[in-house]
Amino acid sequence: MTRWAMGESEVLALLASNDLQNVVGDAANGMPLAERAQTTLATAISIRESDPESAYILAYDACRHALAALLAQQGLRATSKGGHYAIEVAIRAQFGAGFRQFGALRRRRHDIEYPRPGGTSDVTPTEISQALIAASELITAARALIDQLEMF
């Protein structure tokens, strides 16, 4: 797969706005992040019943690590300015709607960590099950793509 075969204009715009930055060397190896994603997901699964809110946050973090691994493999990293949203935009631009679930997980994680007055941070058993399934699917998809990407 060539670098940014899809989504080139979005990636270049994220770079120009300093929401993404280029990285080289060890920082451009996505495999450690992909492995971290798998470990984080396993931790989320292990605490799903005792601490569903933390499990949800960890499921989200596992996805974020996997998607950051895809970017790293291309020599890219989100900046503190671009944050998690820049990861979402860059991944969806390049790899399509199959990664759409990440946006919903990101927004819900935000609601859990920063509850609004009158809002709820309680995570239902169904919700955590769905989050864990989505995380597993996204991690699997990201790992399958890493091998196809050039390492910069």
- Which pLDDT tens digit goes with each residue over 2-32? 466 789 999 999 999 999 999 999 999 999 9
First to last CA, the chain: 13
Measured CA to CA, the distance from residue 32 to residue 29 in angstroms comes to 7
Assigned domain for 56 exists: yes
Assigned domain for 3 exists: no
What CATH number is associated with residue 40? 1.20.120
The arithmetic mean of pLDDT across residues 133-148, rounded, is 93
- Which pLDDT tens digit goes with each residue over 34-65? 999 999 999 999 999 999 999 999 999 999 99
Assigned domain for 61 exists: yes
Q: What is the mean pLDDT of the chain?
A: 92
Q: Which residue has the tokens 């989050």?
A: 131
The total of structural domains in the chain comes to 1
Q: How confident is the model at residue 148 (pLDDT cuts 50, 70, 90)?
A: confident
SS3 at position 19: coil
Assigned domain for 1 exists: no
Assigned domain for 102 exists: yes
Domain that holds residue 126: 8-146
Measured CA to CA, the distance from residue 12 to residue 68 in angstroms comes to 17
